[in-house]
Structure 1
Amino acid sequence: MRDALYDLGDDGIVTVTFDMAGRPVNVMNDDFSAAMDEILARLEADKEKLKGIIVTSAKSSFVAGGDVERLLALRHEGYQPARQFFDGLKARLRRLESFGRPVVAAINGSALGGGLELALACHHRIAIDDRKIQFAFPEVTLGILPGAGGVVRSVRLLGLMKALPLLTEGRRIDPREALKQGLLDELAGDQAELIARARAWIAAGPEAVQPWERKGYAIPGGSMFSGDNAPMLSVFPSMVFKKTRGLLPAAERILATAAESTQIGFDAAMAVETRNFLDLLMNPVTENLITSMFFQMNEINGGASRPQGPAKSKVARIGVLGAGMMGRGIAFAAASVGIGVVLRDVTLEAVEKGKAYTAEILGKRVAKGAMTQAALDETLALIQTTTDIADMAGCDMVIEAVFEDVALKQSVLREAEAVLGADAVVATNTSTLPIALLAQGVARPENFIGLHFFSPVDKMNIVEIISGKATSDACLARAYDLVQQIRKTPIVVRDSRGFYTSRVFSVFADEGDILLKEGVAPILIENLAKQAGMPVGPLSVQDEVMMSMLLRAQRTNQELDAQLGDDYAKSFGVCGELCALMCDKGRPGRLDGAGFYDYLPDGTKRIWPGLRELFGGDKPMPHADIQDRLMFRMVIEALKCLDEGVVTSLRDGNIGSILAFGFPVHTGGVFQYVTSYGIEAFLARARQLADQYGDRFLPPAGIEARLQSAEMTRRVA
């Protein structure tokens, strides 16, 4: 066979080893279906000789799941071709489990999605006891549900309450946890023992039926109306909605499918699963998630935005200049993956406080049993504290994380560079200051780059890499490698005012402030932003960040405009105006207990009544206009970044918008938002908003041709 090996032994046990040609992993697609047809035909021909069947893999994983490219192709082919494909896949797995001979899955590597569904169609499951092996139903993260029997079989095997978390959260578990949950029946020490145990199980003469086909079987825990299930299911939908706000329908549909499957027979439940799977597949959200969170994320993780010439590198020791909020977070991120850190500030008190931040975070993990005290001590020992810049000598890279002041940053960068080797990378963590301007303070601009971390660093899994005009490919590659080494997602942009993420997100706050100033009710602004999928509204964002800080950034940008002959600060001028107003009124934000909101002692908050006196709040405006103004303003700014070459790839723009400032994940990111909306329809709506509310909604001239390019409208054949 082309994609599998069929080995019938003298003992009557056949070993089927999937090994799909030309692929690093086995996936479920048309080739897999063809291989299954061949396998089933040979099994039928050999049936009288057979005592049992072992299903395994020649790859490092078992089966990685469905072929996502084929999945998108089926979406574009339409409902009936997609139904035919999945009906056929289910029928093949059903033939295997009802063949009349015991089938054991010998799982040598990770079984994800369709791979786990194949394993569940076997009568017995054994896996190698290796924590690197993972079991999961990740379909929910792609906007779909397990479509090859995964919902129905897992509910019948585990029970509704045990299956639902695995199905709705996409959580990955290791073999020991899978054994504990009931997904596995045995563990083996290595490959040889795995096959030996599989043969031994078959040799024992087990019955070749699934548990749910035995007489007297009942679903563990009962149906959706039984025992503890009914009370839990009464609150489960609200728990799901709280997380998704109805914008990510997969979890809700999985819940409905799983619950309904407990009320009907196996075949009927499989039909319900297929119907709900196809409904989700045809939903635009699925294409958005697959395009960005699967294809584009994998491209970034694979180094698509990294210069291809320089060899991969690893950092052994970094220096961090500044032990404040950002510096201490960077030190934590580096030490957590075993990188030595030299943390420097002007006083020992400040630098020790910065190191204590790592101790505090890891201490919580120790308290939960997720980390040992010895591991904590080992990590802390990697952080050297100092006030002496000379201690930076020998570092592979130094990251400056001091206040956003040009003269200060240039000064510390110059000091650090003087004690470093000629090949060391010098980086600045800045969100507002041009790399070209800061590069004037270093002697080797080819080794200088921007690394924009996001706060809090320990929770934000993205770094915006800003390549200056003089930055070399070798420097950019080393910065990219470091970001991946500390287990964060790198996006690469070019130097410009505000770079990409800060520039796009700032106009979200600005548009919210414009709406407020125009007299739109603040609660309406906030709630419509959240209904669109933003984590919080534009007024809340400013309170959280602190308007006093935003005001400082605005004034810094105004000074830079004067120095550089630019007008960048005007792009969020109303935000600056309102931040100044609120600071003058003693309401700079949440940390001071007063901003656009009043923050109450019980932890709740409410819109400050004074906003009505300042701005009114009774101006009528269509809700669609309010929501579109907030979203389109960000997307238009992102399109300007694309047009100007600040962002050079759609993947970095989409992933950056989702991870950096919470652009709604169901849209697939700022650029996928346009594709999903429809390019012509989006541009028409943008021009309509521009006619009604101002030229800031006009897309860049000529952007339509760029949007219509093959890269933007990529469809999988």
Structure 2
Amino acid sequence: MTIHFERDDEGIVTLTLDMPGSANVMNAEYHRLMGEAVARLEAEREGITGVVLTSAKKTFFAGGDLNVLVRITPDNAAEALGFLEDVKGQLRRLERLGRPVVAAINGSALGGGFEIALACHHRVALDDDRIRIGLPEATLGLLPGAGGVTRLVRLLGVQPALPLLMEGRQLRPARALQAGMVHELAATREELVAKARAWIRANPEPVQPWDGPGYAVPDVRVGDPDLYGLLAAAPAVLRKKTHGVFPAPERVLAAAVEGALVDFDTALVVEARYFVELVTGQVAKNMINTFWFQLNAITAGGSRPAGVERTAVTRVGVLGAGMMGAGIAEVSAKAGIEVVLKDVTLEAARRGAGDTPGITPTDSDADLAGCDLVVEAVFEDRELKHRVLPAAEASALPDAVIASNTSTLPITGLASAVSDPTRFIGLHFFSPVPKMRLVEIIRGEKTSDETLARAFDYVIRIGKTPIVVNDSRGFYTSRTFGTYVTEAVSMVAEGVAPALVENVARRAGMAVGPLAVSDEVTLTLPLRIRDQTLADDPANAGALGDHPAFAVLEELVAGGRTGKAGGAGFYEYPEGGRKFLWPGLRRWAGADAGVTERDVEDRLLFIQSLETIRCLDEGVLTSVGDANVGSVLGFGFAPWSGGTVQFVNSYGLREFVERADYLADTYGERFRPPTSLRERAARGEAY
């Protein structure tokens, strides 16, 4: 395994990246091999007319080796910086070889892979929609450190480059061409190489734009008043989005702007220093751990039963054409699956189907014939679900998987509605279905391995991320997210200013403020869940009945404030205007609630992490990865933290237990750490 060096009769060298393993990555082996290749090109330069850089893998280049990056600390940062300077030095020598160098991008080129391509004079990409091109480092808490910021800014200008860098956008080839990131597209691999070679023949002495005389970054001119307006506003606009908890976009902005105002080689130094600052920080380690290692383990089938053959759903029946059912039908149809969408009336089914091809609307169970998967997505009412499930099961194929999209009702109880509970499972989608990536798969007491595997394969097929949990009221996501909402409402009841609760939650990195999200899901939902829980388990009556949050919710609902759909909740929703917190919430205001901003933030984050630990203790969750990924993708737990369990790890278990005890002493026993957490902290272990 190497970087293959082949020179033809025209003097064109093809460098084919073929690193050990399934993908090319930027590690010590790459550093050695690329160093040897560049040295050989320099030594044999007189006999070389050009260089085509391509890959022997399905991908062009996968980027930096995250196994290496995650181990960089302040103690070995100087060594890491030296390695990075060497890697960038090799690319600098390549682009200043004095011969045309073309990247023939035959697969995805992300992160370090696209940085290599940027060091080439010309980029030709295979026109395949499966290919992604870009610099996604910010999504893992990093920035491109091998010249990506410096070169993209000089290629496109600061303003066009910043969204691509700060948001880590991954573009299909056609969009990358439009953005100016690649120069040409090719329909086939043969055409890809042919176009690369043709450009070499036509451009025997190319120079990178930034190495040409008099070059300046396209939209940066010292003394330009428009530039200073941009530079003054950009940090404030960014802070409004990140609330200061995501350091990567801020460092990208700094590296881009500061680098644009100095020469190219100095800009590389600026970029490298910001990269090392990020890679040694805790946020990057949190995000790499969850959004790379744990997420990849999940999608590779870590929670899928072993030894069960993979299956492909061919026909899905969806019961209920409301927002959830319509969304499930849409994502299934767009994945190439035949869909039958059933509601009580044909008109309602047609509304839900909209204009999405592949969906057949119906009001008849008979049309579910031939379905090998049925997903029930009707109103969250046990009796209603028990009515619709048996008829659907009778009409579908005899071995069809029958699933419920319930968000709270235990799957084992719902399974009693069908004749074969081994084929029954929970598939909890999140709203809006087309945008939300997570599906929580809930295994009932009698759900078979085959049923779980088939459900898992379906979720992967429709492009979603599956986590697998065991049965429990509220499962993992609804149960844990419910603590976030009720804790916030409890603080309102205590007299904490509602605006403070909302602002602190967003500043902490939560996707949506808890009062705003309460309005979105309706204020009646937690009351219905409480009532159903009390009916099923009267032993919980004391804890639930005395919870201060429910008194606030009951009073609001009694006054007709049921949430956004009802036109009023914690917020007012003026027609044509922006929502604002209802002034009537002053009814609970205290002159001095005595709750500090730090306590507000910790109550909101700690309560979710503690509930997650309880889910692990009870066996509802069976993996830390499912907990972390599920918390961020499912209910918007602060992504910078890496998820509810990683938040505990990065806080430090001893410190977390100490702080949780303070919160329990001050605000209630719900914050008291479980014994398992205390014992783990005492042993000095992390999750």
CA separation in 1, counterparts of 2:579 and 2:344? Answer: 38
Contact 1:223–1:259, Cα closer than 8 Å, also in 2: no
- In the alignment, which residue of structure 2 is the partner of 1:365? none
CA separation in 2, counterparts of 1:607 and 1:249? Answer: 30
Map residues 168-247 of structure 1 onto 2, 5 A cutoff. 168-204=166-202, 206-223=204-221, 226=224, 228-247=226-245
TM-score, normalising length: structure 2: 0.95
Q: How many residues align?
A: 687
Per-residue deviation, 1:426 = 0.6
Could you say what secondary structure the match of 2:125 adopts?
A: strand
CA separation in 2, counterparts of 1:568 and 1:422? Answer: 45
Map residues 517-536 of structure 1 onto 2, 5 A cutoff. 517-536=493-512
Map residues 473-552 of structure 1 onto 2, 5 A cutoff. 473-552=449-528
Per-residue deviation, 1:316 = 1.2
Per-residue deviation, 1:535 = 2.6
Per-residue deviation, 1:117 = 1.0
Superposed CA offset, 1:481-540 (max 9, x none): 111222221111100111111110111111112222222222222221121112333222
Per-residue deviation, 1:667 = 0.7
Per-residue deviation, 1:673 = 0.5
Map residues 269-348 of structure 1 onto 2, 5 A cutoff. 269-348=267-346
Map residues 260-659 of structure 1 onto 2, 5 A cutoff. 260-355=258-353, 358-359=354-355, 376=356, 379=357, 382-562=358-538, 570=544, 573-659=547-633
Q: CA 1:625 to 1:191, structure 2 compared with 1: closer, same or farther past 3 Å?
A: same
Superposed CA offset, 1:547-603 (max 9, x none): 1233222212221213xx556972994333322121122222223333223333452
CA separation in 1, counterparts of 2:193 and 2:350? Answer: 54
Please tell me the root mean square deviation across aligned C-alpha atoms, in Å.
2.3
CA separation in 1, counterparts of 2:231 and 2:99? Answer: 37
Q: CA 1:186 to 1:332, structure 2 compared with 1: closer, same or farther past 3 Å?
A: closer
Contact 1:160–1:224, Cα closer than 8 Å, also in 2: no
Larger mean CA deviation between 200-209 and 538-547 belongs to: 200-209
CA separation in 2, counterparts of 1:139 and 1:188? Answer: 27
CA separation in 2, counterparts of 1:252 and 1:557? Answer: 45
Larger mean CA deviation between 99-108 and 147-156 belongs to: 99-108
- In the alignment, which residue of structure 2 is the partner of 1:93? 91
CA separation in 1, counterparts of 2:542 and 2:564? Answer: 27
Q: 1:117 and 2:115 equivalent?
A: yes
- In the alignment, which residue of structure 2 is the partner of 1:39? 37
Q: CA 1:105 to 1:227, structure 2 compared with 1: closer, same or farther past 3 Å?
A: farther
Contact 2:107–2:126, Cα closer than 8 Å, also in 1: yes
Contact 2:409–2:474, Cα closer than 8 Å, also in 1: yes
Contact 2:492–2:589, Cα closer than 8 Å, also in 1: yes
Per-residue deviation, 1:709 = 9.3
Per-residue deviation, 1:685 = 0.9
Larger mean CA deviation between 280-289 and 697-706 belongs to: 697-706
Counterpart amino acid of 2:351? K
Per-residue deviation, 1:468 = 0.7
Counterpart amino acid of 2:155? L
Larger mean CA deviation between 143-152 and 481-490 belongs to: 481-490
- In the alignment, which residue of structure 2 is the partner of 1:48? 46
- In the alignment, which residue of structure 1 is the partner of 2:669? 695
Per-residue deviation, 1:441 = 1.8
Map residues 135-174 of structure 1 onto 2, 5 A cutoff. 135-174=133-172
- In the alignment, which residue of structure 2 is the partner of 1:684? 658
CA separation in 1, counterparts of 2:519 and 2:468? Answer: 29
Could you say what secondary structure the match of 2:245 adopts?
A: coil
Q: CA 1:259 to 1:408, structure 2 compared with 1: closer, same or farther past 3 Å?
A: same
Q: CA 1:652 to 1:612, structure 2 compared with 1: closer, same or farther past 3 Å?
A: same
Per-residue deviation, 1:712 = 4.7
Contact 2:49–2:204, Cα closer than 8 Å, also in 1: no
CA separation in 1, counterparts of 2:260 and 2:223? Answer: 9
CA separation in 2, counterparts of 1:423 and 1:609? Answer: 55
Per-residue deviation, 1:139 = 0.8
Q: CA 1:708 to 1:419, structure 2 compared with 1: closer, same or farther past 3 Å?
A: farther
Could you say what secondary structure the match of 2:403 adopts?
A: strand
CA separation in 2, counterparts of 1:569 and 1:316? Answer: 46
CA separation in 2, counterparts of 1:225 and 1:470? Answer: 72
Per-residue deviation, 1:273 = 0.6
CA separation in 2, counterparts of 1:710 and 1:141? Answer: 30
- In the alignment, which residue of structure 1 is the partner of 2:15? 16
Per-residue deviation, 1:707 = 7.0
Gaps of 5+ in 2: none
Per-residue deviation, 1:617 = 5.0
Could you say what secondary structure the match of 1:643 adopts?
A: helix
CA separation in 2, counterparts of 1:157 and 1:549? Answer: 52
- In the alignment, which residue of structure 2 is the partner of 1:370? none
Contact 1:520–1:617, Cα closer than 8 Å, also in 2: no
Could you say what secondary structure the match of 2:432 adopts?
A: coil
Counterpart amino acid of 1:273? E
Superposed CA offset, 1:317-360 (max 9, x none): 111122223222222222222222222222233323322xx33x
Counterpart amino acid of 1:430? T
Larger mean CA deviation between 57-66 and 544-553 belongs to: 544-553
Could you say what secondary structure the match of 1:221 adopts?
A: coil
Superposed CA offset, 1:382-408 (max 9, x none): 222222222222110111122222232
Contact 2:654–2:681, Cα closer than 8 Å, also in 1: no
CA separation in 2, counterparts of 1:617 and 1:510? Answer: 22
Contact 2:495–2:588, Cα closer than 8 Å, also in 1: no
Contact 1:151–1:257, Cα closer than 8 Å, also in 2: yes
Counterpart amino acid of 2:16? T
Per-residue deviation, 1:147 = 0.3
CA separation in 1, counterparts of 2:196 and 2:409? Answer: 62
Superposed CA offset, 1:208-256 (max 9, x none): 5322222232322333654754444443333322321221121121111
Superposed CA offset, 1:162-216 (max 9, x none): 2222222222223333333333333333223333333333334522532222223
Q: CA 1:171 to 1:499, structure 2 compared with 1: closer, same or farther past 3 Å?
A: same
Superposed CA offset, 1:609-665 (max 9, x none): 333334535322222112111111111011100111101111111111111111111
CA separation in 1, counterparts of 2:654 and 2:221? Answer: 49
Contact 2:243–2:508, Cα closer than 8 Å, also in 1: no
Contact 2:492–2:588, Cα closer than 8 Å, also in 1: no
Contact 1:522–1:617, Cα closer than 8 Å, also in 2: no
CA separation in 2, counterparts of 1:647 and 1:9? Answer: 58
Per-residue deviation, 1:118 = 0.8
Could you say what secondary structure the match of 1:132 adopts?
A: coil
Counterpart amino acid of 2:518? Q
CA separation in 1, counterparts of 2:222 and 2:629? Answer: 38
Q: CA 1:325 to 1:165, structure 2 compared with 1: closer, same or farther past 3 Å?
A: closer
Superposed CA offset, 1:17-55 (max 9, x none): 11012x111111111001012212322432332232222
Gaps of 5+ in 1: 360-375
Contact 2:217–2:260, Cα closer than 8 Å, also in 1: yes
- In the alignment, which residue of structure 2 is the partner of 1:364? none
CA separation in 1, counterparts of 2:271 and 2:667? Answer: 46
CA separation in 1, counterparts of 2:122 and 2:85? Answer: 24
Could you say what secondary structure the match of 2:71 adopts?
A: helix
CA separation in 1, counterparts of 2:683 and 2:189? Answer: 48
Counterpart amino acid of 2:125? A
